């Protein structure tokens, strides 16, 4: 078991990474001071891990809230259903909420915790690769709106993150690949050596080799923890580098309908688009783009735009992105593998023509 720390002063918290962490309460008990505990999960994860988590919380018997599974339920309506359960059960400010599941459950639960009675404690217990390496760390919480992804939310840090990599053995292959998109992202934005390691170990990761998975989760979490500690609320621009591929990806998710493409699938394709645009700007070579495409493809992720979305539609959806400031769309692009930058200083006509070219070739 390894412990990393997200250094945010009074809001600092540990990330516990290891196998079979849901078999002991020695980690969670240090972060639960309250007598009332609520576990929020979904109908897919509940049969697998809900009772296991509840058992290690004895003698406290937690309230259990089971949500429907899917990105399409990441809505204000779902948040309201959680509030109703909390109110019906007279949950006060001395309640701790535990998010048990993937990124959708974590985002919803964190946002509910941030809002309920102006803030109650919450803990992240991520059970997917994507949530373990990305969405459970850093305090971004929220829900989607029909016009844009993650448009309603708050920065709200958990008390701790418990990443039990044993839970990945029940993960469908498609979800595993989706998580690998976020792992690859860390290599692209900040760590060329990690990117090279991923090229050599992608098969081991897809086979859930314990040593490889542990290293990938730890390295990814350390990268994110370092970036979040330096720019918690995206004020300096450094944290925005974590959004490589996300502006393109969110447009794909919204345009296709939430849940049609998994978040990681859209991010994988989005990173390829960011690389191709970086190459059109003359920042990276065609060989570098091909190197990126090969790794994304090896992770069994899509590398081409969906035919259903026109270039104009993607641009329209991208214009609603949170990184639009003063009418300018900021993109995370690549100077090289391991070196990303946030910029609005590019030819928008060139972006338009690239998307049109890619749509025609899809």
Q: Please give the average per-residue pLDDT across 299-310, as a whole number.
A: 95
Domain 173-361 falls in which CATH fold? Dehydroquinate synthase-like, alpha domain (1.20.1090)
Of 159, 239, 276, 359, which one is the catalytic site residue?
Answer: 239
Residue that has been written with the tokens 């919380």 in this structure: 57
In whole angstroms, give the CA distance from residue 98 to residue 103: 13
pLDDT at 322: 72
Instruction: Give catalytic status of residue 250 as yes or no.
Output: yes
Of 71, 232, 234, 253, which one is the catalytic site residue?
Answer: 234
Domain 2-170 falls in which CATH fold? Rossmann fold (3.40.50)
Q: Please give the average per-residue pLDDT across 115-124, as a whole number.
A: 97
pLDDT at 292: 98
Of 31, 159, 246, 323, which one is the catalytic site residue?
Answer: 246
Q: Please give the average per-residue pLDDT across 223-236, as a whole number.
A: 91
Instruction: Report the mean per-residue pLDDT for the chain.
Output: 95
In whole angstroms, give the CA distance from residue 227 to residue 240: 9
Region label for 90, one of left (φ > 0), alpha (ψ between -120 and 50) or beta (otherwise): left
Q: What percent of the chain has a predicted confidence (pLDDT) above 90?
A: 90
Cα 98 to Cα 46, 60, 154, 175: the distances in Å are: 13, 13, 17, 22
Q: Please give the average per-residue pLDDT across 204-228, as a whole number.
A: 96
Domain segments of the chain: what residues? 2-170, 173-361
Number of alpha helices (DSSP H) and beta strands (DSSP E) in the chain: 12, 13
Instruction: Give catalytic status of residue 182 as yes or no.
Output: yes
Q: Please give the average per-residue pLDDT across 155-165, as a whole number.
A: 96
Q: Please give the average per-residue pLDDT across 177-205, as a whole number.
A: 98
Of 74, 150, 243, 323, which one is the catalytic site residue?
Answer: 243
Instruction: Give catalytic status of residue 33 as yes or no.
Output: no
pLDDT band, very low/low/confident/very high, at 362 (cuts 50, 70, 90) = low
Q: Please give the average per-residue pLDDT across 281-294, as a whole number.
A: 98
pLDDT of 321 over the 90 cut: no
pLDDT band, very low/low/confident/very high, at 188 (cuts 50, 70, 90) = very high
pLDDT at 315: 93
Of 31, 36, 159, 182, which one is the catalytic site residue?
Answer: 182
Instruction: Give catalytic status of residue 19 as yes or no.
Output: no
Instruction: Give catalytic status of residue 85 as yes or no.
Output: no
Instruction: Give catalytic status of residue 140 as yes or no.
Output: yes
pLDDT of 28 over the 70 cut: yes
Per residue in 259-282, pLDDT tens? 999 999 999 999 999 999 999 999
Instruction: Give catalytic status of residue 246 as yes or no.
Output: yes
Instruction: Give catalytic status of residue 359 as yes or no.
Output: no
Instruction: Give catalytic status of residue 312 as yes or no.
Output: no
Per residue in 57-94, pLDDT tens? 989 999 999 999 999 999 999 999 999 999 999 999 99
Instruction: Give catalytic status of residue 239 as yes or no.
Output: yes
Tokens of 129: 């690769």
pTM of the model: 0.92
pLDDT at 331: 96
Residue that has been written with the tokens 């990806």 in this structure: 249
Q: Please give the average per-residue pLDDT across 310-316, as a whole number.
A: 93
């Amino acid at each position: 078991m390894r412990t990393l720390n997200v250094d945010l002063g009074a809001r600092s918290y540990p990330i516990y990474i290891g196998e079979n962490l849901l078999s002991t309460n020695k980690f969670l008990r240090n972060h639960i001071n309250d007598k009332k505990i609520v576990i929020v999960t979904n109908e897919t994860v509940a049969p697998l891990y809900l009772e296991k988590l509840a058992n290690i919380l004895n003698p406290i018997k937690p309230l259990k809230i089971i949500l429907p599974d899917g990105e399409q339920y990441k809505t204000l309506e779902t948040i309201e259903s959680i509030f109703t359960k909390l109110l019906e059960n007279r949950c006060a400010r001395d309640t701790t909420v535990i998010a048990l599941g993937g990124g959708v459950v974590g985002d919803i639960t964190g946002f509910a915790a941030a809002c309920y009675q102006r803030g109650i404690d919450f803990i992240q217990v991520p059970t997917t690769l994507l949530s373990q390496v990305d969405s459970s760390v850093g305090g971004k919480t929220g829900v989607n709106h029909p016009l844009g992804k993650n448009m309603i939310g708050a920065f709200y840090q958990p008390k701790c993150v418990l990443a039990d990599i044993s839970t990945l053995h029940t993960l469908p292959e498609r979800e595993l690949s989706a998580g690998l998109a976020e792992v690859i992202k860390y290599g692209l934005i900040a760590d060329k050596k990690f990117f090279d390691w991923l090229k050599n170990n992608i098969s081991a990761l897809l086979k859930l080799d314990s040593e490889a998975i542990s290293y990938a989760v730890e390295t990814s979490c350390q990268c994110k923890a370092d970036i979040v500690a330096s720019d918690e609320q995206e004020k300096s621009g450094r944290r925005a580098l974590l959004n490589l591929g996300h502006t393109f990806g969110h447009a794909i998710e919204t345009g296709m309908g939430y849940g049609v493409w998994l978040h990681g699938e859209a991010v994988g394709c989005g990173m390829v688009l960011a690389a191709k645009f970086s190459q059109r700007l003359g920042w990276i070579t065609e060989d570098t783009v091909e190197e990126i495409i090969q790794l994304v493809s090896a992770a069994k992720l899509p590398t081409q735009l969906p035919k259903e979305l026109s270039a104009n539609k993607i641009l329209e959806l991208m214009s609603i992105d949170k990184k639009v400031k003063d009418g300018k769309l900021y993109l995370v692009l690549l100077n090289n593998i391991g070196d990303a930058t946030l910029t609005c200083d590019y030819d928008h006509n060139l972006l338009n023509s690239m998307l049109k070219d890619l749509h025609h070739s899809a």
